[in-house]
Amino acid sequence: MLTRIEIDGFKTFEKFSLDLQPFSAVVGPNASGKSNLFDALKFLSLLSLHDIRTAMQDLRGEPEELFRLTASGPCSEMRFAVEVALDREGRDAFGTNYEVKSQRLRYELSLRMKMDGRGQPRGTFVAYESCVALAKKDEEAAFFRRAKLSYSDRRNPFIETEIENDTAKAFVIRQDGPSEKGGTKRGTGRRLAATEASRTALSTITTAEFPHVYALRDLFASTRFLEINPQAARKPSDRFEERVLRADASNLAAVLAHLRDETRTDLRSEGVIADISMDLATLIPSVRAVEIADNPAAKEYSFGIATSDHLSFSSRVISDGTLRLLALLAILDDPARRGILCFEEPENGIHEGRIPTLVDLLRHAVPTAETMGNDTLFQILVNTHSPAVMAALEENEIVAADSVSVIDPASKIRQVKTRMRRMPASTTQATFNWETDLTRKDVENLLRRPSDEA
């Protein structure tokens, strides 16, 4: 779970910071930076798995366009920092169980663009990387101060960059050890040369040999960006398809079948599919049940919808909106849900009168501060420009996005950057700050503005 993100030099972000809760909705007009925030999260996710070049190719725009454009040209460096809450226990890809002593970590990453002799970009490299434990005394977020999370007073970073003459020379990855205050460490750490490093140190950790670093990488890797392709979602799935729903929902049939088979009991033959059917019916009243067909001869799964008037419709004729909601519920009702779900425009395909019910389903799929120590951590981030969604949100769930113009003091050139603000607990004149705070009425006005700038 991400509790804070800081971005500088990436796309429209300049010295940007934002605190997040288990369920947060970024609300704002088009071109206000909502999707750019999701792009930053996607970039961090990709960097935990791939080299920088591959990660950049999976984003919108050319690599140079990912660096913030300023009056003097593109920035030469982009910086990210995130603070996270980790699950206390986990299992790596080879079946090894692990436990983390510190569920709160801070991770920092800087990427630098290097130029050739003609001033043309020749590549992007890791300039700095760090991962440290956050102590209980440093916890600033009120929400997480109430949560039952475990902390550590460890002083040694889990990842550290050795710098010489303003240049990274090596990345040091340290193991967990019995002496959390920096004494003798168990086992051998890892040292990686940092000269023009083309991938992050984090991306090299593939086992629980380094539990905290692996858990952090796993959190980034498990971030899902639901961008449903109705054409793909309608198709039957091979019986050996993966269990985790793909971003385009092209394996939806297999995911539904796996959920049924893994959760069915003598008393509940359909398992959690019964819950999915019930939740879908609250959003689309004509729905009675989700039906899954297993075709052993064709070695594939398919699905359909049964309606309240006792008709059945295959996935080939289900509406795009129904498919979007069904794919979303396949995640929300999964007992093994975990990680971070990023979902754009949840209002698409749903009647405006059912939006409060949808928002309520999203809200109740994530842990509260009181249950956070017991439940597997799961986070939902949505972005929207819908006044109906905004009206259904509670004040502490709203993050308002807009674009603001700034004037470079040296060149006098006007630039635009993304700003995001929250509704404060108190809106008294003495505590209200227009740079960081706003009221519900202000957000409503933002959504009505024809311009993409504040």
DSSP β-bridge partners for residue 416: 405
pLDDT tens, 378-415? 999 999 999 999 999 999 999 999 988 877 777 677 78
**In what helix (H) or strand (E) does residue 360 lie, and over which residues does it extend?**
helix 355-364
**What are the extents of the domains in the chain?**
2-222, 224-337
- The per-residue pLDDT of the chain, averaged, comes to 89
What is the pLDDT, as a whole number, of residue 454? Answer: 39
Greatest alpha-carbon pair distance for the chain in Å reads 74
Compute the average pLDDT of residues 303-330.
94
Residue 134 in 3-state DSSP? coil
Q: What is residue 245's predicted lDDT score, i.e. its pLDDT?
A: 95
Reported as a pLDDT band with limits 50, 70 and 90, residue 447 is confident
* Tens-digit pLDDT profile for residues 216-259: 999 999 999 999 999 999 999 998 898 899 999 999 999 999 99
pLDDT on residue 338: 92
Quick one: average pLDDT of 351-360? 94
Which of 346-357 are b and which e, b meaning 16 or more Cβ less than 10 Å from the residue's Cβ? bbebbeeebbee
Please check whether residue 127 is in contact with residue 197, taking contact to mean a CB–CB distance below 8 angstroms: no
* pLDDT score of 31: 82
Residue 432's pLDDT band, with cuts at 50, 70 and 90, is: low
69 vs 73, higher pLDDT: 69
Residue 120 has pLDDT above 50, yes or no: yes
pLDDT in tens, 15-34: 999 999 999 999 998 888 89
Model pTM score? 0.91
Q: What percent of the chain has pLDDT over 90?
A: 67
